[in-house]
Chains A and B, each alone.
Chain A
Amino acid sequence: MVVDDLDALQEKFAVCDTIAFADLSTQMILVTNSATSLPREGLDNLCAEAALTMGTKRRQFLGTEPSSSAVVASRGQVRLFLRAKAEPNDILCCVSTDKLDINAFLAEAQPLLEKLSTGG
């Protein structure tokens, strides 16, 4: 199940509070890791931020093409958004402390996203 994959990734990166699989076309979070502390409103905001920063097929607010990934860093927190290569509406969202090893996370998260996106 998707939640098991998200939980497994979160266990590897304990500084992550939330890892979510979402659909940008509907701007809906589809599944989150089971231990996320974000309420529904927080998840909705996360998806809205992903659409605003990375852009969608229909509109980009920064740039001319939908970005393949975005990292937003604020005080003490990093939010990371990753787009699936095969299905650009499928994204992975992550909310972490600023201690996240971004390179290591990306190396694990991108293959997982492709797997979830293709239903593998």
Chain B
Amino acid sequence: MSDTSTITNKLAALLSDDDVYVAGARVIAQGGSPAPLAAVLTEIDATVLERTLVFSIDDVNVSMIVAGRRLRGFTDVSGNLPEAANVIGKVLSRDDAETLQAAGDLMLLLCASANRVTVRSLPATPFGTGADAGLSANGLATLWHINLDDKPAALIERYLSANAADLSAYIYVSNGDVVKTVGDVATLDALWSTQVTEFRKRHRALLPKQDGPRLTCLDEPMGEGSTVAIAIDGNDVGLFSYKRSQMPRLVSAWTASLG
């Protein structure tokens, strides 16, 4: 059998009830949920036998040697990132604080705004001398200041934060309470107070089958030059105005966040 990894991946997919696969790779984080770096560390923590884990963090592939629920080191990082140069091929050890920090910086950089993270488990390749065991996921989480138990932010909260640069102002409402406002929200606040409840009620009555998360972008709903969008996910609502030229990008970011 020439490629046991393919079969292993297919068997894993068949055995899994909830996991989502993209091109044979298992999706471990999508749209910031769970936090990408926490998802990577959780995979390391779940790997007992020595394997090469290949994480695809958006368009960057990071290959790591993992064994005994510990990260031993990085074997490859695609894209010729200068930040990866000090990390590839080095065994991670508490005795080498510089490499540990460089590895943390690299992963934080890659994961900071990653939309999708997938993982493949491949056979291990020879790495290091065996004199060091690597670092556990919990140890790395402590060193890199990652809380593995953090609950991910809600979809709309993440979306608004990630796209704040293209928004003129926004209101984030969760379970009826205004949780966050940014910018001049007088108009948005008026819409929230007077129209959103009725809009949602009408929507549910007219289109009961379309009650999933959705983003609606309106051009000129308050007169010439105005823009308003409403993002809805269950009891969470985001109401925002945006730069008109950025509407296609905002729509694309929304659909990407839904997976």
Which residues of A does B touch, CB under 8 Å?
A: 45, 48-49, 52-55, 60-76, 78, 98, 101-103
Contacts and interface: CB of A to CB of B under 8 A. Distances in A.
A72 B216 CA distance: 4
B215 A73 contact: yes
Contact of A63 (B214, B215, B221): B221
Contact of B230 (A49, A62, A64, A66): A62
Contact of A62 (B191, B214, B255): B191
A52 B206 contact: yes
B213 interface: yes
From A45, A62, A98, residue with most partner B Cβ within 10 Å: A62
B207 A98 contact: no
A102 B218 contact: no
Given A65-B222, A69-B219, A78 B191 contact: no
A42 B252 CA distance: 24
Interface stretch (B5-13, B96-104, B197-205): B197-205
Question: Which 7 pairs across A and B sit closest by C-beta, in order of nearness?
Answer: A63-B221, A98-B255, A102-B248, A67-B218, A74-B214, A67-B221, A69-B219
Contacts of B255: 73, 75-76, 78, 98
A58 to B, nearest CB: 14
Interface of B: 191, 195-196, 198-199, 202-203, 206-207, 210, 212-223, 226, 228, 230, 247-248, 251-252, 254-255, 258-259
A94 to B, nearest CB: 13
Given A45-B207, A74-B212, A75-B259, A65 B251 contact: no
Contact of A75 (B212, B222, B251): B212
A61 B215 contact: no
B202 A61 contact: yes
Given A63-B191, A64-B221, 19 more contacts: A48-B206, A49-B210, A55-B221, A61-B199, A62-B195, A62-B196, A62-B199, A62-B216, A62-B221, A63-B218, A63-B222, A67-B221, A69-B219, A70-B219, A71-B247, A71-B251, A72-B215, A75-B212, A98-B252
Contacts, number: 98
A52 B208 CA distance: 13
B218 A53 contact: yes
A70 B206 contact: no
A48 to B, nearest CB: 5
A53 B251 contact: no
Given A64-B223, A68-B220, A73-B255, A52 B203 contact: yes
Contacts of B196: 62
A40 B219 CA distance: 28
A72 B248 CA distance: 11
A65 B223 contact: yes
Contact of B222 (A54, A64, A70, A72): A64
Contacts of B251: 71, 73, 78, 98, 102
Contacts of B226: 63
A48 B215 contact: no
Contacts of B222: 63-65
